[in-house]
Structure 1
Amino acid sequence: MGQDTLLLIYLGISLVIMLGLVVKFKINVAISLVMASLFMGLASGLGLLGTLDGISQGFGGLMTDLGIPIGLGVILGKLISDSGGAYSIAEAILKRTNEKWALYSLGIASFVLAIPVFFDVAFIILVPLAIQLGNKINKPLPYAVGAIIIGAAIAHTLVPPTPNPLAAAGILDFDLGIMIVVGVIVGLLGTLCTVKIYFMILDKGFWNKDTDEDATMENPYGTMDIPENRPSAFLSIIPIVLPSILILFGSFGNVFFDENPAIITFLSDRIVALLAGTIVAYFVAAKALNKNKRDLSSSEAMQAAGIVLLITGAGGSFGTIIKSTGIDQAILNIFVSDAHSTISVLLVAFFMGVLFRTITGSGTVAGITTMTIMAGVSAGVDVHPVWVAMASLSGGLMLGHVNDSGFWISTKIAGLSVKGGLKTYTTSEAIAGFVVIIITIIGAHIF
């Protein structure tokens, strides 16, 4: 048996270890990732100290790039959410549309909100609006719920400053501004196309109200206190777009200067950009929240960020250990017979992302681990790394199910049965993953 095959077998065993710890023994995903990393490093010959060094370097390297930006991004989103600004944005988008396009606008509203906030927060904010909208235009529950899931899942997966797309530029070594532009364009196209396809499936009788909705739930549509004096949609969207504008300054500067002036490099740094957005969010939130409430909101955001950072860092450790074993070359040798085959590399990244997402239930783990492995693979292929990132992340969109917290949040808050959750959360995200990889393959061949 060749060394390449052995490495893939060890990877498979490490994934089984991770899955067993998470599913069977209910161990935290971060701890399970470290355990899987230990096995992978030792089995593949990195040695005791080499394995420990790989785990430390993988965690520390990712936190160096992402620790502060992720924390700032979480605070920004929490302030906009708690002040009612996110609700104002969603309401403004829905008011500016007619009945024919109302559900598509709901998907776009969900996409916009999920850029600064986590999937579950965007979902909770939009569900009450979605239910009202569905009743108004006489559409069954899954139409509105599906539109929210699609928009939020795609934005959370593809558009910085959420952890995966924020990490993509550093892992695959390309300009973060490119990730923002491509993520937004592909994400918006993907959202509209996925919503259309999902609605076509629902139109064919895919939904059964009797078995797919849970009539026993007392309060199925969630609760969120929206301040009466919340900031306007215009004010609320400024902290969201400001970091992207500053980061893009650096990208545009590269076009006009051989080397960006220090001021442009400073302002376009992800830490400075997100710090600026967070400071603006703090002042925007002042319309609805006093100082103590804003401080409390920031503190709660940091508690939530701690979990995200731990899982993200552990995913970086696992990815670094895997990369250290030389498995990227093994993948090229076994799966990519032509090292210049763009579509082969993109499909390998896609299906690897699907595998990690299905097993771990975490899109963050799936995306970061896949991109880390593919960083070495993509170096020998004539394709811009942003498309490798998009392929990896589109795989991480796929097949979220009962081992995914997002599945239970959307299922229980929307008042669905488990079967209904599979028909909304799992099915819509599966369609989204396929749509995004198709757009990615097309984009990689055009650009």
Structure 2
Amino acid sequence: MSEVPVLANTAVAIVGIVVLIVRFRVNPVISLVVGSLYLGLATGLGVTRTIRTITTGFGDIMAEVGLLIAFGVLMGAVLQETGAIEQLVDRLLHVFGPRRLPHSMALTIGTLLQAIYLDVLLVICAPLARTASRRIGPLGSARMGAALAIGLESGIVLMVPGVGALALAALLHVPLGTMLLWGLVLIVPTVLVSVTIMSFLFRRGLWNSATDEDAAVASETAAPAPPQTQKADTAEPARVRPVPAVAMVGGTPAPGPAGPGTRRPGRPAAGPAPGPAGAAVPCGRWKDPPLLVRFAPLVTALLMIGGGAVAQATHTRNPVLSFVSSPVVALLTGLVGTLIVARLTVGRERVERALVRGFKDSGQILILTAVGGSLAAVVGAGGLGRILRGYFSTGGHIAPLLLVWAVAAALHLAVGSVTISAITTAGILAPIAPGLGLDPVLVALAIGAGSLFAVHVTSNTFWLLQSLMGQTTRGTLKSCTLGVSVASVVAVLLLLPLSLFL
């Protein structure tokens, strides 16, 4: 088939997927499969080959990344149940103080805490950040809101084990250790520079407490907080905006109004049952383990994966090291260690409850990632990769990266979901990635950076942040939409020099 029909039918398929998700609120999994079916039939693959290509692409991605996503989500659910997140934020406040808290909290959320399901992490951290913002001063709500948004959204697509980063690595065949190391190299300066830029803009008059914060929050931050250490107030603000257009969970559209990220009337916010001052009530034999012990299994798993990447880069071959650094073995080790610590801390019953919640949360993420593989397989079989390879291969290293970033940014503007735009972009570009003359990890990170651009009103992160931080819609457009967009641009600008060395 000639170039024009292939390009036209691909454009129709992508626009159709976006319209189904945004206009008709069809679940993205169904929308991506329908778009893949149309594209396969329209490009002449035929019924049998189209279905075989979709199912093969689905299975290949599940085989590569399914266990990794499941282990990561389960580990995060158990950490949430033990109250480790609240303890970590309290420690950050104690060590770095309120002035440096936006940088330290954003960096911690974007790196160490990416095993936690995004909406759950936001619901846990936002009330803590709101309480801490009173100690920062009049710009506390703005700075903490921007820091939360930047850390949450950047981590999900740039840092392993964020579900977006895992999906990008699988779709583009990037070794997970390589994705972890280079994602860490990129996300640390991205977060620090972006939070600094937003703080500078807020100090230069971008933020107006009278119009960007609810009256109650503005009055809270106007008066200095008492000097003693404040405990987190985990009570949810009374006003929670409905999510317009499409409900999102963890950066992806939820299955419906009663999806895992939706609050029912009378249902408490996600997280462990609060005890005194909002802390989790320990029910195990080990009442209060040190913070390092709580996170040691997760940190160990990441070090094991990173060690494998270092061994690969130095051409070190050792069967034992290869086994230990395997992502499946590493994350399984982290999960088992987290379960042991949690059993000793909060007891068997609460651990089992956390696992049930984790299995529920991971279901849609797994299927959504796998149908992204189906779309990639159909795109490759239909000939689009061959056509686009010619367009992307001109202009050296920099132009292709900018084009990749622009495609992901455009899809995110249309869909409004960081994860879906990243997975869809990877599905479209995966067939041409080997012919770009770029290391696949650069393509993955460029897609992740582009998918961050302009988090807006169709994102659940936007509305949860607006409600839990007590900001107006105008204020959230500044702290969340502008803040994450700044991170998107900073990330791609930092990525361009890296492309000269990889």
Deviation at 1:344, TM superposition (A): 1.7
Equivalence for 2:299: 241
Note closer, same or farther for the CA distance 1:82–1:113 as it changes in structure 2 (3 Å cut). farther
Note closer, same or farther for the CA distance 1:255–1:188 as it changes in structure 2 (3 Å cut). closer
Specify the SS of the correspondent of 1:286: helix
More helix by share: 1
Answering whether residue 54 of structure 2 is matched by residue 55 of structure 1, we say: yes
Mapped to 1, the partners of 2:52 and 2:394 lie a distance apart of 32
Q: Deviations over 1:236-275 (max 9, x none)?
A: 22122121122233223335666431x2222222211111
Q: Deviations over 1:200-241 (max 9, x none)?
A: 222232233344335595267995532154543211221221
Query: Following superposition of structure 1 onto structure 2, how do residues 389-400 of structure 1 map, counting pairs within 5 Å?
Result: 389-400=444-455
Specify the SS of the correspondent of 1:7: helix
Q: Deviations over 1:286-330 (max 9, x none)?
A: 243210110110011100101111221222222222222222222
Aligned counterpart in structure 2 of residue 284 of structure 1, from 319, 341, 351 = 341
CA contact (8 A) 2:408 2:447 kept: yes
Mapped to 2, the partners of 1:332 and 1:318 lie a distance apart of 17
Answering whether residue 238 of structure 2 is matched by residue 218 of structure 1, we say: yes
Answering whether residue 121 of structure 2 is matched by residue 64 of structure 1, we say: no
Equivalence for 1:169: 169
Equivalence for 1:410: 465
CA contact (8 A) 1:342 1:383 kept: yes
Equivalence for 2:259: none
Q: Deviations over 1:70-113 (max 9, x none)?
A: 11110100111110112222222221114442322222232245
Answering whether residue 163 of structure 2 is matched by residue 108 of structure 1, we say: no
Unpaired segments of 5 or more residues in structure 2?
217-236, 242-267, 282-286
Specify the SS of the correspondent of 2:451: helix
Specify the SS of the correspondent of 2:489: helix
% of aligned pairs identical? 27
Q: What's the C-alpha RMSD, in Å, of the aligned pairs?
A: 2.4
Deviation at 1:394, TM superposition (A): 0.6
CA contact (8 A) 2:57 2:377 kept: yes
TM-score (norm 1): 0.92
CA contact (8 A) 1:156 1:162 kept: yes
Note closer, same or farther for the CA distance 1:332–1:260 as it changes in structure 2 (3 Å cut). same
Equivalence for 1:327: 384
Equivalence for 2:412: 357
Equivalence for 2:254: none
Answering whether residue 280 of structure 2 is matched by residue 227 of structure 1, we say: yes
Mapped to 2, the partners of 1:139 and 1:329 lie a distance apart of 55
Q: Deviations over 1:88-141 (max 9, x none)?
A: 222222211144423222222322453211222222222222122211121331
Note closer, same or farther for the CA distance 1:84–1:416 as it changes in structure 2 (3 Å cut). same
Equivalence for 2:200: 200
Mapped to 2, the partners of 1:417 and 1:5 lie a distance apart of 46
Mapped to 2, the partners of 1:256 and 1:422 lie a distance apart of 45
Mapped to 2, the partners of 1:10 and 1:203 lie a distance apart of 49
Mapped to 2, the partners of 1:424 and 1:61 lie a distance apart of 39
Specify the SS of the correspondent of 1:376: helix
Mapped to 2, the partners of 1:335 and 1:366 lie a distance apart of 19
- Report how many aligned residue pairs link the two structures: 443
Answering whether residue 120 of structure 2 is matched by residue 121 of structure 1, we say: yes
Mapped to 2, the partners of 1:250 and 1:344 lie a distance apart of 31
Mapped to 2, the partners of 1:376 and 1:27 lie a distance apart of 27
| 153-162 vs 115-124, which moves further | 115-124
Equivalence for 1:293: 350
Deviation at 1:167, TM superposition (A): 3.2
Answering whether residue 146 of structure 2 is matched by residue 146 of structure 1, we say: yes
- Work out which structure has the larger RCO, using CA pairs closer than 8 Å and 6 or more positions apart in sequence: 2
Answering whether residue 361 of structure 2 is matched by residue 304 of structure 1, we say: yes
CA contact (8 A) 2:138 2:209 kept: no
Deviation at 1:358, TM superposition (A): 2.2
